[in-house]
Amino acid sequence: LYTAQTFLAGQGGLGSVNREAVLGMLSLVFWSITLITTVKYVLIAMRIDNNGEGGIFALYSLIRKYGAWLAIPAMLGGAAFLADSVLTPAVSISSAVEGLQTLPPLEGLFDENPSLTLMITVVIIVILFSVQSRGTESIGKVFGSMVLVWFGFLAIVGVTNLSNDWSVFEALNPVYGIKFLFSPNNAAGIALMGTVFLSTTGAEALYSDMGHVGRGNIYFTWPFIKVALVLNYFGQGAWMLANSDNPQYTAMESLNPFFQMMSPNVRYLAVILSVSAGVIASQALITGAFTMVSEATRLNWMPHLQVRYPARTRGQLYIPVVNGVLCVSTLAVLAIFKDSEHISAAYGLALTITMITTTVLLGVYLWHSGKRVGAIVFTVLFLAIQAMFFIASMAKFLHGGWFTMLLTAAILFVMYTWNEGTKLERAQRRHMRPNDFLPALDKLHSDFRIPYFADNIVYLTSDSETKRLDTDIFFSIFADHPKR
């Protein structure tokens, strides 16, 4: 929805891009989706799960025994992922709603009311968060068929525009991308990689949502989705080449090739489908955030919040407090940045941090599972690519990246505080040895004046040492009504 639009904005508009620029961008996008999403996440990360759950915290739970230092990348990556969960609904839905501005009958209405797209986006986001309590099982039945239609539509629209110029498939050669990245004609410089990164931003959510969606479903559908995405991106490239001299488009501000490459009649359907797809993309991040917070709670990195299980499907959960905080934060993002072009400047920076930390943890997992050469190749290759994405995204820092970094720091502060507090609290617990508590319990057991049955007789402890008793538990047995 917004990768090509951001690319044109960075290069100075449609009139400033030539064949070298378009093929370079397409080449970088294709290889980013292939290496990051397909190879790293679908083929490697998806095979590594913790009882069916994916995501950075599930991965950390599998390897935490290999070193205390692993908590640092896990916490940092998790905090950055949660920060980006706030931006995804804002950027996905606002960029889709902005498609309404390209419909000829509505152009005048949006010119008169510039804040109308913002208001429509706010309404959709409020509705989206208010239906979360119903669970993703019922929502998923509608979403599944919608996604199938959406990606089918992307492929058809892409092929329609490719029929004029199939030569854009030269961009499958990675040389075009590398040449343009370092070419003097690249107006954005290294920041171009920050734009290219936008095409892979759903990959981390894909891994986090494994428990909600199921690994088998992702494996089965990914080839179709990959082909549809590639056809659409290359279709946008063919359209840009065909219209680079068209005065109707070269003078247009914030031109979005995705919507402009369709005829006005098809655009109506595109807006409806893209808003639906934006809602679904947001849903993926929201459910991913629920999973992440639940995993963090299990690791004692987050406060223990009320968790509901609204569906019969395993792995689906709903956390009311997280839902509320995400909703308020997303609305705050919209209030600060106003439109998708400015939000996408903030978007992606935090997610590059999550991807780098996931690479480190995956590398450690592969190393300890005996694939030492594979672990080194994997870690070096993906750290090099993602470090480039991070440096490129840092160019966005003053344009909005500061917001996600601030949010990441705030979430990291909560995690660190909770972790340290839990350690402190556990260090201050007092315990009793069997020769201290057994005589007293034996006397209680033999006292026939006390009823033999009582409620609340099961005591749960997270103590790993079974030969001692927490003093608080001992006193609670005798307090108020002794429990024989």
If DSSP codes are grouped into helix, strand and coil, which group holds residue 131?
A: coil
Mean pLDDT of 5-14: 87
Q: Tell me which long-range contacts 332-337 makes (C-beta under 8 A, separation of at least 24).
A: 333/86, 333/87, 333/90, 333/403, 334/90, 334/94, 334/118, 334/121, 334/122, 334/125, 336/403, 337/90, 337/400, 337/403
E-strand spans in 370-480?
A: 431-432, 469-470
Mean pLDDT score, 93-97: 86
**Predicted pLDDT at 98:** 84
pLDDT of residue 313: 64
Q: Which of 141-155, 197-211, 224-238 is modeled with the greatest confidence?
A: 224-238
Beta bridge partners of 469: 432
Task: Tell me: pLDDT of 454 over 90.
Answer: no
Cα–Cα dist 106/41, whole Å: 41
Which residues are paired to 308 by β-bridges? 318
DSSP for 136-151, written as a single string: HHHHHHHHHHHHHHHH
User: For the whole model, what pTM was predicted?
Assistant: 0.84
Say which residue the tokens 């679908």 belong to.
42
> Rounded distance, CA 268 to CA 275, Å?
11
Give residue 51's pLDDT band: very low, low, confident or very high (50, 70, 90). Answer: confident
Question: What are 53's strand-pairing partners?
Answer: 50
* pLDDT score at 16: 85
Give per-residue pLDDT as tens, 227-267. Answer: 999 999 999 999 999 988 888 888 777 788 998 999 888 98
User: Which of the residue ranges 81-90, 214-223, 354-363 has the most confident prediction, judged by mean pLDDT?
Assistant: 354-363
Find the Cα–Cα–Cα–Cα dihedral 228, 232, 238, 243, rounded to 10°.
160
Would you state the torsion angle of the CA atoms of residues 129, 130, 133, 138, taken in this order, to the nearest 10 degrees? -80
Return the percent helix, strand and coil in the chain, to nearest 5. Answer: 75, 0, 20
**Residue 88 · residue 282 · CB < 8 Å:** yes
> Of 78-82, 86-90, 206-210, which has the strongest mean pLDDT?
78-82
The closest of 326, 425, 434 to 88, measured between CA atoms, is: 326
So what's the pLDDT on residue 38? 94
The C-alpha atoms of residue 26 and residue 233 are separated, in whole angstroms, by: 7
Beta-bridge partners for 76:
none
Residue 472 to residues 307, 417, 476, 482, Cα–Cα distance (Å): 26, 24, 6, 14
State the chain's mean pLDDT as an integer: 88
For residue 137, what pLDDT band results from cuts at 50, 70 and 90? low
The Cα 190–Cα 10 span in angstroms is 11
Region(s) of the chain under CATH 1.20.1740.10? 3-423
> 338 CB contacts (<8 Å, ≥6 apart)?
118
Distance of CA 397 to the CA centre of its chain: 19
Dihedral of CA atoms 207, 401, 128, 261 in degrees, nearest 10, equals -90
Residue 267 CA to residue 272 CA, distance in Å, equals 9
Whether 472 shows a pLDDT value over 90: the answer reads no
pLDDT value of residue 415: 94
Indicate the DSSP class of residue 308: B
* Across 17-26, 57-66, 204-213, least confident range: 204-213
- Residues of the chain with pLDDT > 90, as a percent, come to 42
Mean pLDDT, rounded, for 469-473:
88
pLDDT, residue 24, reads: 95
pLDDT of residue 280: 84
Give the architecture (CATH level 2) of 3-423: Up-down Bundle (1.20)
Q: How far is CA 354 from the centre of its chain?
A: 9
For residue 11, give the nearest of 27, 25, 28 by alpha carbon.
25
Angstrom distance (rounded) from CA 221 to CA 295? 27
